[in-house]
Chain A
Amino acid sequence: MRAGKARWIIAAAVCVGAIVFMVTQLGANLNYLEPVSVAVEQRESRGDRQLRIGGVVKPGTLSERAGGGSTFELTDGDATIAVDLSGAPHQTVTDNPDGCVPVVVEGHWQGETFAGDRMILRHGAEYDDAKHDIGDVQDRLDCERSVADAEAASDLPSDEG
């Protein structure tokens, strides 16, 4: 009887320990995915934890370092941040330096700069990307609008001009 009770206590302790370990791991590995403007608002509260920021690469801001890595600006139309990416930017971004390419950058804040570890292109990873494209198109339109607004405000000539 005593042995049986002891077994139940040990089993319960193991279960509780496993649950605590899981909850701890879950909390520590939670990556927030936020658009640029929300990420800027939440910058203080996020500290240096890992997160993903979605937006589009602002045209003409991409600069690659010879030793690897790159810098660019990421925007969602409402806010813009500076990104220092340690890995290689996606080919689609390097091929379209003047396009508004939607991406997700994973990394953490270092002051006001976002230190990116990797860049993910925003498209459906599986078989059907039609729905996800809705968001991408919206971001791209926002980006193109913000670029046009910026050009108009600074009175810069546009490509067509």
Chain B
Amino acid sequence: MRQAIGSFSLTLAATGAISGAVVLAVGAARHDVRWMRLGRRFVPVVLIGAIGAVAAMQWALNSHDYSLEYVYSNVANATPRLFTITALWGALEGSILLWGLILAIYIAATAHRFRARADDPVVAWATAVQLFVALFFFALMLGPADPFTSHASPITPFDGQGPNALLQNHPLMAFHPPMLYAGYVGFTIPFSFAISALITGRFGEGWLADTRRASLVAWGFLTVGIVLGAWWSYEVLGWGGYWAWDPVENASLLPWLTATAFMHSVMVQERRGMLRVWNLSLVIATFALTILGTFLTRSGVIESVHAFSESDIGVWLLVFLGVIVLGSLVLIGLRGDALRTPGRIDSPLSREAAFLANNLLFAAFALVVLIGTVYPLLAEALRDERVSIGEPYFRAMTAPIGIGLLFLMAVAPVLPWRATSNAVLRDRLLVPAAVGVAVMAVTVAFGARGNAQVAAFGLGAFCLAGIGRNFGVGVQARRRARHEGVVRAAGRMVRGNPRLYGGLVVHVGVVLIGVAIAASSGYTAKREVQLATGESVTISGYTVSYLGSVETVTDQKSTVSARMRVERGGDDLGVYEPSISTFPSATTAIGTPSVRTSWRNDLYLSMSSTEDADGRIGITIAVNPLIVWLWIGGAVMALGTVVCLVPRRREPSLSGAGAGAGVGAVAAAADMAGETRPEDPTVVGAST
């Protein structure tokens, strides 16, 4: 029953996708309004099919329908309800199913948003491209990644194998993958409009305005997904870190880097009409990198190039990737001359020059990570050598780029468009730069070592001081012009240009993350010790004593917890319990660290072995500075993204005697803050 519903739903979604895509493409090519309107009607069909398939799978998972191979492989009778639900995205077929649902939601939301422009060929082509992408994923599910395949045995098993042990050990499993997928899949929308712009020849600024919200939403989800992934790694894997430059992690970072570059370069095109090819390329690259990431993580190619051929899905993903890249290149090539823009950068000390430098650094960052990720695959394919790229490569290459980006983040928001003067630079940068230098001096005086760390602290302070100045000048100008209180002035200022101030809030989050990464990568203290009951060890002021072990057994797992008393400066900070669990279906034990978090540092306790014959446990103790700011920074970035999405609030202009001075003050403050002027047409576009 569930299998029949699931398979029918997938067939419905695939049929809807191909029908809609073909009808829309024909309608758009012929400029036939009836066909374009008819094509849109298939969008709800795809959504209903996707919802039906996911509902059927959830029904099967929660009712333990082991006649389905996917349910048998990923759920057991003892699996807790939360991890039974999350098993939907715990393995290949289910995760493609989730991908299909999220894509169908995005397509439906986009079709709804552009319902008034159903006759516009740009919208019709974009929807057709979205449906073609959906068709690919639903075709995968009807073929090599069928989630509704029957279990091989004719007799239905009484119990399943359960999820991978690592995937049933922390509630973050419920949030990290869906967030990541919402980010990945969301980039289909700007990609589809970019392709549509190339097909129709309308590659001005219109498609950028059409996709601004979708790009922001996808970028926000991907940001949160990556930060949650780091948090999951930190809280679950027990190795004490949050980012290991693992190919799977890199696969999520790559599209984020190109998308972040696009978020900045898009402003140059809106304001100056430049970088058309670059923006199209960034959007296409971002989408292509999401497919590359899926290929890397789902084809088995990371384990071994030769495992790729064992995977049914790998070949299809590679072909799809090739079609995207080659098709896009052909379209850009065909439009060649028409894509050229006459504008040029007038001065290296201008906003557009800073954004261009920012984009080059993001592109370099992505290239470095891409090479480090795919080099082992190429080495194995071409020379039959199994190699991996060590973390020092990524650290050495990305640290200077990260420092450069922090510097640009401090400088770019205060630079005016086109050109600037020394006086303006001095006025806007002197105080923030002085704050940055002072912070560097103070941190060195307090014992900070490491050029990258000290530079990150200084540039972080430079950036925060610049952002603070931006807000301060804006609020002050409003108060003078409109006689408002501080809170009201700040609120209305943000509502008046949410894109600018939301972006600055995102920058605050980035600074927090940058400082946390610098501190934790440079000043972590770590020891591996063996302790018998009653023994203690002291590290970075913390005294950790082993009180004994406790064993708990449930249907899901057997857990041995080490009870560790933590004290600092004579204060009892409580008992923490790192543990090791064994799951019936797993061959390996899974460690779960216990973390004491504070504003200054984390005490990270991870059990490496249970009591041996002498009653000694193995325990790894680390003191990681400023880690909590990494998670706070992620939340601040998410908040900034939400602010960017808030509709712009237009205010009546000041009138009457004496208002002229007020208007002038606000405009001057806006310009000083690097803000676009209210009368600027691009600002009107920003609110759509």
What is A's interface to B at a CB cutoff of 8 Å? 18, 21-22, 25-26, 28-34, 50, 52, 64, 66, 68, 87-92, 94-95, 121, 123-129, 131-132, 135
Contact = CB atoms under 8 A, between A and B. Distances in A.
A128 B307 CA distance: 12
A50 B392 CA distance: 12
11 contacts: A29-B392, A64-B612, A68-B530, A88-B618, A89-B609, A90-B608, A91-B607, A92-B588, A125-B248, A126-B248, A127-B92
Nearest to B618: A88
B364 interface: yes
B386 A33 contact: yes
Nearest to A64: B612
A131 to B, nearest CB: 5
Contacts of B545: none
A70 to B, nearest CB: 10
Contacts of B92: 127-128
Contacts of A126: 248, 297
Contacts of A121: 588
B38 interface: no
Contacts of B397: 21-22, 25
Contact of A94 (B371, B387, B612): B612
A52 B588 contact: no
B388 A25 contact: no
Contact residue range for chain B? 35 or more
Summarize A's interface: helix, strand, loop or mixed.
mixed
B55 interface: no
Given A25-B397, A91-B610, 13 more contacts: A26-B371, A26-B389, A31-B388, A33-B386, A90-B588, A90-B608, A91-B580, A94-B612, A95-B609, A125-B246, A126-B297, A128-B91, A132-B303
A12 B607 CA distance: 51
A91 B608 contact: yes
A131 B246 contact: no
Contacts of B298: 128
B311 interface: yes
B529 interface: yes
Contacts of A88: 528, 608-609, 618, 620
A50 B90 CA distance: 34
Given A68-B528, A95-B589, A123-B587, A31 B248 contact: no
Nearest to B396: A25
Interface in B104-161: none
A90 B246 CA distance: 20
Nearest to A35: B386
A88 to B, nearest CB: 4
Contacts of B372: 26
Contacts of B304: 135
A91 B589 contact: yes
A146 B531 CA distance: 36
Given A22-B371, A68-B530, A127-B167, A31 B389 contact: yes
B164 A129 contact: yes
B59 interface: no
A30 B297 CA distance: 21
Please list the 4 inter-chain residue pairs (A to B) with the smallest Cβ-Cβ separation, ordered nearest first. A29-B393, A29-B390, A33-B386, A88-B608
B591 interface: yes
A21 B399 CA distance: 13
Given A28-B393, A92-B588, A128-B92, A33 B388 contact: yes
Interface string B291-325: 00000011010011001001100000000000000
Given A22-B397, A87-B528, A128 B300 contact: yes
B175 interface: no
A3 to B, nearest CB: 11
A28 B265 CA distance: 34
A22 B310 contact: no
A119 B618 CA distance: 15
Contacts of B530: 64, 66, 68
A131 B371 contact: no
Nearest to B392: A29
B646 interface: no
Interface string B205-243: 000000000000000000000000000000000000000
Nearest to A23: B371
Nearest to A123: B588
B91 A127 contact: yes
B609 A131 contact: no
B95 interface: yes
B632 interface: no
B385 interface: yes
Nearest to B560: A91
B366 to A, nearest CB: 13
Contacts of B396: 25, 29
A54 to B, nearest CB: 8
B591 to A, nearest CB: 7
A50 B390 contact: yes
Contacts of A95: 589, 609-610
Nearest to B388: A31
B529 A68 contact: yes
A137 to B, nearest CB: 10
A142 to B, nearest CB: 17
A57 to B, nearest CB: 13
Nearest to B311: A131
A68 B609 CA distance: 12
Contacts of A129: 164
Nearest to A91: B589
Interface string B358-393: 000000100010011001000000000111111111
A118 to B, nearest CB: 9
Contacts of A32: 385-387
A33 B610 CA distance: 30
A131 B300 contact: yes
Interface string B528-539: 111000000000
A131 B302 CA distance: 11
Nearest to B391: A29
A76 B300 CA distance: 23
Point out which of A18, A28, A34, A127 has the most chain B C-beta atoms below 10 A from its C-beta: A127
Given A26-B389, A88-B618, A91-B610, A124 B303 contact: yes
Contacts of B589: 91-92, 95
Point out which of B311, B386, B612 has the most chain A C-beta atoms below 10 A from its C-beta: B386
B151 to A, nearest CB: 15
B525 to A, nearest CB: 16
Contact of A127 (B164, B389, B608, B620): B164
Nearest to A65: B530
